[in-house]
Structure 1
Amino acid sequence: MGILPIPSSEALITRAVKTLETTAFKHANQRHLLHYIVKGLGDLPTSALEQLNQYLNAPTAAQYPHADAHMRLIIGLNDKLKPPIQITQLLQLRQKFATEMVAFQSPSVWQQTNTDEHLKIDIIKNKLSKNKVSNNRKIFNINANENGNTVQWQDKIIANADGGDMIIRCYQAKNNHAHNGDELSGDEPNADNVVMLFFHGGGFCLGDVNTDQEFCHVVCAQTGWAVVSVDYRLAPEHPAPTAIRDSLEAYSWLTKHAHILGASSSRIVLTGDSSGGGLAALVAQQVSNATVGQPSDKQEDNNTLNDFSVDIFEQLQNLPRPLAQLLLYPITDIGTDYPSWKLYGQGLILNYNDIAVFHAAYLQDSSLTQPHALISPISGDNTQICPSYIVAAELDILRDEALVYAKQLQGYGIKVQTHTMLGAPHGFTHLMSVHQGIGREMIHIIDEFTNFVRQIIAT
């Protein structure tokens, strides 16, 4: 009996490309082309995926036994196609990053009615004026989810920490009927009266409210909670502590306006991924300590506070504490190397060089010195922090600092639940609609955190 011919790598790639063209290019929405391509790769037979991995010199199953062939192909492609990040090119990279993150997302979270395309483009480019937004507020309707509800979102402009404009995007789950009026109001399926305040990742240098549209939409649809995503200012134009100042300003705004989103100011949960996870942890830390009359910025050398810390302390003293926090592969300890840096510092989604560039951009012109509670959450006083659900990615240079932070909180008697996403790299939330395993795991994590929060409410 003859042996079936094994296709060459070139023939295999040609076949894969043709398959992907059939899948991707039949869709009219080219804005999400990466979504169709990367998702389509997952539909290839495992044998074909492994041959592609071998051709690309992607990680093997022996190296990362918890990562399936599709995930290892994504990692391999990223390693081949991603150029080294340079601090002088961050501004150009920012637009490219924003475009690509949207391109990975499912078009279903962007379907909308009665939209002004020019307004949408301006939002993406962050060129909105306050008058333009106030005069052109739009409600975006998403297809009904499996519970029979729609998710709507609206961009608003609030003041940043220096009184300038800052975009926030407000999401609400709605009963599936016509919407009337200009504000997000009506019948919300938010029985928990919870609102999630979300901070995007991107090394404090990249990202905006569009880059995590998919995650915010899915959380809103799955939980019924309101979600508010914050477009804080970025480095290097705005070094530390600008991002945390803007984040605290957003928290302060939400405590006063949670009711217009059908939520309670006493039921704010903080969430962020990567650097955004670090910002969420810093907001939780600063607010929690201010409400018990204890600043969280004492320096070890002289036990004093800088002027900025005093201002924050006074601003936050009377604010309600956050109910809980969900941190997704967060930055918690800038400047400290952990074993995961050596294990996963090269060849993955986030590498050592990336972090070095991001940290330099964020800190080189900063007035703060390291270690500092307003830079690294682990450096501050976390004894009063809210209950925390902390998610680490196995194949992540930041894995260990997330788990060390969780252990620190547990040592203080804080209610903590951890989850390590096996076989997943840094930034896995951006793969939730293109990788089946990640999608299932994200649904599980959101369900687990929902139950975590409901247990807190019940006690």
Structure 2
Amino acid sequence: MALTDQAQALLDMVYRVGAPRFHELTVAQARHSFEKLQFVFGGEPEAVASTLEVPMARPDGSALLARLYRPLEADPAEALPLLIYFHGGGWCVGSVQSHDSLCRQLANRAGCAVLSVDYRLAPEHPFPAAVEDALFAVEWARANAEQLLVDPGRFGLGGDSAGGNLSLVTALMLRDRAAAALRVLCLIYPCTEIESSRPSRALFSSGYFLDRESLVWFFERYLPGGQANDWRASPMKARWLGDLPPMLLVTAECDPLTDDSVAFADRVRAEGGSVEHLSVDGMVHGFVTLGKWFPEASQVVNRIAVHLRQRLTPTVDAA
């Protein structure tokens, strides 16, 4: 249960200089700090065939914004499979821009289009605004698949941390609506339960990047009404976890959320679902978007890309 040398060096640097943590910042400061972290350690963005800013018009006249990436290898006229991606950041920070490098990598390496969704953030837009946006994005993308030049029969969802939570919740809502089946869920250290007493919450509560106080900071802003037991906030609370798409679950060994994710995967399997679990030794929460610092990030993206290619190919049964 030891951190890698790179992970230890990053934590030593963060704590040595006394950099304020999320719970010590205003929302504006936290957002700036998060974007800066991604810019410094996220790596240079790869070239893709194209990016397109997509305004998804709502019935009330407002628009949910997203960015569509097409991989370098794509034929300009080809209807590609689509991964709809929800960024991490505790539902309060993060953006399409903070995850730009990761989405470019996923598009190129998986050979699929990626639609990165700029869902509304708390505390300005608390729960369930992000959930509503996530579901709307999937339904809008299906209805406008021809315009996006994607195949509506080959959709998957993905996300890291809070974005993994939104992917799970959206998949559950689509299942309950008997919507067209998703092909795959790619979940990177997702938050599966708001309140938890599993060992990793205490074991990695301080000094491992995502401190206990910062978790509380995010939860209080996302859930000001105290809805921790609502399954749309804590998908582990859902009545049934069966009949979900096949999942790839990535966890970091030294992450307070790890045991919750593993417990969720165990329950999915017990209720008839399929989960492939990739546990990354010595890593902390958030490492996948910090590819300039962590070589493990690129390795994980490659594994995700292989999984996406397998699941989104036309020959794979969507069931």
Matched, 1:89 2:18: no
Relative to 1, partners in 2 of residues 1:249 and 1:76: Cα closer, same or farther, differing over 3 Å? same
Output the CA distance in 2 between the equivalents of 1:108 and 1:94. 20
Instruction: Tell me which of 41, 63, 66 is aligned to 1:168.
Output: 66
Alignment of 1:106-121 (within 5 A): 106-109=43-46
Q: Which has the higher helix share?
A: 1
Output the CA distance in 2 between the equivalents of 1:105 and 1:91. 20
Aligned to 1:223: 110
Instruction: Tell me which of 404, 425, 435 is aligned to 2:294.
Output: 435
Output the CA distance in 1 between the equivalents of 2:223 and 2:21. 20
Aligned to 1:98: 35
With CA pairs under 8 Å and 6+ residues apart, which has the higher RCO, 1 or 2?
2
Q: CA RMSD in A?
A: 2.3
Output the CA distance in 1 between the equivalents of 2:70 and 2:59. 25
Matched, 1:418 2:308: no
Output the CA distance in 2 between the equivalents of 1:433 and 1:84. 21
Give the gaps of 5 or more residues in structure 2: none
- TM-score (ref. length: structure 1): 0.65
Aligned to 1:157: 55
Relative to 1, partners in 2 of residues 1:370 and 1:163: Cα closer, same or farther, differing over 3 Å? farther
Relative to 1, partners in 2 of residues 1:162 and 1:384: Cα closer, same or farther, differing over 3 Å? farther
Give the gaps of 5 or more residues in structure 1: 1-62, 110-141, 143-149, 177-184, 292-318
Aligned residue for 1:267, secondary structure, equals: strand
* CA displacement at 1:259 relative to structure 2: 2.9
Aligned to 1:186: 76
* CA displacement at 1:377 relative to structure 2: 0.9
Aligned to 1:196: 83
Instruction: Tell me which of 238, 260, 263 is aligned to 1:404.
Output: 263
Question: Do the aligned residues in 2 keep the contact of 1:160 with 1:250 (CA within 8 Å)?
Answer: no
Aligned residue for 2:107, secondary structure, equals: helix
* CA displacement at 1:99 relative to structure 2: 3.2
Extract structure 1 runs of 4+ deviating beyond 4 A: 160-163, 452-456
Alignment of 1:128-143 (within 5 A): 142=47
Aligned residue for 1:446, secondary structure, equals: helix
* CA displacement at 1:256 relative to structure 2: 1.2
Aligned residue for 1:421, secondary structure, equals: strand
Question: Do the aligned residues in 2 keep the contact of 1:344 with 1:396 (CA within 8 Å)?
Answer: yes
Instruction: Tell me which of 319, 324, 342 is aligned to 2:202.
Output: 342
How big is each residue's C-alpha offset from its partner over 1:42-91, in whole Å with a ceiling of 9 and x where there is no partner? xxxxxxxxxxxxxxxxxxxxx61xx3322210122223343133377112
Aligned to 2:10: 74
Relative to 1, partners in 2 of residues 1:74 and 1:222: Cα closer, same or farther, differing over 3 Å? same
Question: Do the aligned residues in 2 keep the contact of 1:389 with 1:449 (CA within 8 Å)?
Answer: no
Aligned to 2:134: 247
Alignment of 1:272-421 (within 5 A): 272-291=159-178, 319-364=179-224, 366=225, 369-380=227-238, 381-421=240-280
Q: Which has the higher strand share?
A: 2
Question: Do the aligned residues in 2 keep the contact of 1:87 with 1:361 (CA within 8 Å)?
Answer: no
Relative to 1, partners in 2 of residues 1:429 and 1:88: Cα closer, same or farther, differing over 3 Å? closer
Output the CA distance in 1 between the equivalents of 2:119 and 2:59. 9
Q: What percentage of aligned pairs have identical amino acids?
A: 26
Paired residue type of 1:391? V
Output the CA distance in 2 between the equivalents of 1:96 and 1:452. 36
Aligned residue for 1:96, secondary structure, equals: helix
Question: Do the aligned residues in 2 keep the contact of 1:330 with 1:402 (CA within 8 Å)?
Answer: yes
Output the CA distance in 2 between the equivalents of 1:162 and 1:332. 31
Output the CA distance in 2 between the equivalents of 1:151 and 1:458. 28
Instruction: Tell me which of 141, 145, 154 is aligned to 1:267.
Output: 154
Aligned residue for 1:97, secondary structure, equals: helix
How big is each residue's C-alpha offset from its partner over 1:141-196, in whole Å with a ceiling of 9 and x where there is no partner? x2xxxxxxx432111212358642321000002458xxxxxxxx8244x7xx4100
Q: How many residue pairs were aligned? A: 316
**Bigger Rg over Cα:** 1
Aligned residue for 2:123, secondary structure, equals: coil
Output the CA distance in 1 between the equivalents of 2:270 and 2:181. 21
Question: Do the aligned residues in 2 keep the contact of 1:289 with 1:384 (CA within 8 Å)?
Answer: no
* CA displacement at 1:453 relative to structure 2: 4.5
